[in-house]
Chain A
Amino acid sequence: MTTTYVLRGVRPLGGDPADVVLAGGVIADVAAPGAASVTDRDAAGAPVDVVEIDATDHVLLPGLVDLHTHLREPGREDAETVASGTRAAAAGGFTAVHAMANTSPVADTAGVVEQVWRLGQEAGWVDVHPIGAVTVGLGGERLAELGAMADSAARVRVFSDDGKCVHDPILMRRALEYVKAFDGVVAQHAQEPRLTEGAQMNEGVVSAEIGLAGWPAVAEEAIIARDVLLAEHVGSRLHVCHLSTAGSVEIVRWAKGRGIDVTAEVTPHHLILTDDLARTYDPTYKVNPPLRTAADVEAVRAGLADGTIDIVATDHAPHTREDKDCEWGAAAFGMTGLETALAVVQDTMVDTGRMTWSDVARVLSSAPARIGRIDTGAAPQGRPLEVGEPANVVLVDPSATRTVDARAQATASGNTPFAGRELPGRVVATFLRGRATVLDGAPVAAPAGSSAGAPTRGGHR
């Protein structure tokens, strides 16, 4: 039996209270409080359960879409699996994630991307959209079979060597051009490799003092500058992953002003944490790109608020204890983020008055869905909260606060930089096409075979 959910008194996008009905996998009604029409029969006349949720003062957002998630499967199932990572995503309010290609084997063939896509379907927590590698084995030398991945069941539209930079300019040009054929996008991890050999943290006052090899801002900015010009020259679109410096914001702002088709993302951690944390030598704070200065944090917040930065993406990067419980210099780069992203955005952007909940829906749902080209098709994401749209929604209690407990998280890894930190807001419920994946703040195990409704079509261009 299917379930109809009635969200009473909820504030869609933080606006006026309404009753929202989720039935038959779609938003069935949005009505004045108390005025929602609810039936206990579905369209075919079969009986349904009706669950009423008192959502007074809760905010309703479209299901969040992450353009940058590392699910680690295949290859590093000890750090995360598609199942554990997508469960964490649902707990964080996401209904779709893009899985990065730096797995083992690398997602550089139709076979691997289809495997990840199928694992996502089986897990059923969120829609998993594999990202394809730009180059074979992330080697930076030969283009991977981008067309085959685009044509596969996974319908790959985003390509990235994330973790590595596509640093060869001619290879980058070719990739930008090639993906135009299927409306793809290259998501660049902007890191000039020679300028960052052995680099451990942001290069500046703190690195000079604590003796960790510096990672200059210019290593990021130089690549972004080159790539926006390449994108302009070949008339392709470019996405900039995890932009982290004030200079990068300036370059993207300039490029957009010039009409270049570039989009940019910032991670939650770059919105709130600074390189001062490296003074602890706690490898939890070791991340790529590195945490930057307070001035950079302010610049990325301003860039996000004025639309220069299009989206927030988590760069959720789970790592095992062994890879983090060691010397800073030996530790892996990365931090988890799926379960704290919305809270950090609320803390840094909403509670500070710099963005509305409607803006949050844009940067965490509609814009990333559009960049990934998953806003249309059989199972669209990032859609408006309107009647008839798929019931991909997240219910948030913005007035709650919580102290982050690494061990209580759904992700299989413990490398959250926010452990012990109090963050605002709580994901109360997440719905994937009308089915609750999270209720009362806790993930709800999907009934077996419940992934029906997710995209299952084969190739199409």
Chain B
Amino acid sequence: MKHLLSTADLSKDDALLLLDTSAQMAATQSREIKKLPTLRGRTVVNLFYEDSTRTRISFETAAKRLSADVINFSAKGSSVSKGESLKDTALTLHAMGADAVVVRHWASGAPAQLAHAGWLDAAVLNAGDGTHMHPTQALLDAFTIRRHLVGLRGGGADRDGVGSDLAGLKVAIVGDVLHSRVARANVRLLHTLGAQVTLVSPPTLLPVGVEAWPCRTSYDLDATLADWQPDAVMMLRVQRERMSGGSGAFFPSPLEYTRYFGLDGRRLALLPEHAIVLHPGPMNRGLEISAEAADSDRAVIVEQVANGVAVRMAALYLLLAHTEAAHTEGTSL
């Protein structure tokens, strides 16, 4: 595998290699000296067509911890915002000798185009494209879930659950599935890793065609929590613009959304003792998640951020450490 574009492209072995490598990367991050020489001399470009300081910093930190040179190319204050085409930008990055391009784009499919249009030969890492995919987010979610529900809870020697999949675990993903690249990425990856997924959403925020996804769907958060007893609950961010737009709004009011789909203390109490709460951030406190839920000891939201760096280090390592020639005779990733 030369690129990381979609979790749908990952075999179970690929996914486990990414997660296991992430565990080793995470271990290096608790040391005093966090920096590794692994990608010395390699150039990683962060190409961001959408503002996302969090994701950019996470990738930048990951690349720097592996000693890669990092160039930030953001939509603000560069030619990208002046209408330079994706193609011309790609040709520029190619000329600059980029070894990897981390791309965040408002358009679904833009990373796939970068990877396959023949404009550049760098590895492409999708850092979120439109309403399509966000593979490193799904990987860090899976890593966090595995650490808590397989590693730590399993009580074994290995607190990260290295080598294990997520078979038998139940994950509820709650909120705006229609517009969520996080949901799409997670459904595919969690399914590949053997977990069961239920999407919980108002009907207006589930895509037509969701019936083909490898998961269940529900309109009832209370019933899902109480009856299905998920091991993990992932709350999706609700974009404010989804509730405006008059007749085009997806739900009547923030209050009604929170009433039916917000995670609060009462709903938290419906969960099994060991269940954890995830959120990709940034949170709308008081909308999809109450302060009580966000700050509870079930919430692993801050840890997700730290794990994000380890997962992105793993992805960069696995895509960049080898040459393509060596890769073709090597392992699948």
Contact = CB atoms under 8 A, between A and B. Distances in A.
B209 A330 contact: no
Interface string A194-230: 1001001001111111111110100000000000000
Given A203-B208, A327-B109, A328-B108, A211 B129 contact: yes
Given A208-B207, A214-B207, A329 B107 contact: yes
Given A197-B248, A213-B131, A327 B209 contact: no
Contacts of B113: 281-282, 327-328
Contact of A194 (B87, B212, B248): B248
Interface string B184-214: 1000000000000000000000011111110
Contacts, number: 78
A246 B184 CA distance: 29
B112 interface: yes
Nearest to B178: A208
Given A322-B85, A327-B86, A327-B105, A211 B130 contact: yes
Interface residues of A, number: 26
Nearest to B130: A211
B110 interface: yes
B106 interface: yes
Interface in B23-59: none
Q: How large is the interface on B (under 10, 10 to 19, 20 to 34, 35 or more residues)?
A: 20 to 34
Contact of B109 (A203, A205, A281): A281
Given A194-B248, A203-B208, A329-B106, A209 B130 contact: no
A43 B284 CA distance: 87
A204 B107 contact: no
Contacts of A330: 107
A212 B178 CA distance: 10
Contact of A205 (B85, B105, B132, B209): B209
A213 B107 CA distance: 10
Interface string A322-333: 100111111000
Contact of A211 (B85, B108, B211): B108
Contacts of B133: 211
16 contacts: A203-B209, A204-B208, A206-B209, A208-B210, A208-B212, A210-B109, A210-B132, A211-B109, A212-B132, A281-B109, A281-B113, A326-B87, A327-B107, A329-B106, A329-B108, A329-B109
Q: Which 10 A-B pairs have the closest CB atoms?
A: A281-B109, A208-B209, A211-B132, A327-B107, A208-B207, A329-B107, A211-B131, A205-B209, A211-B108, A205-B212
Interface of B: 8, 85-87, 105-110, 112-113, 116, 129-133, 181, 184, 207-213, 248
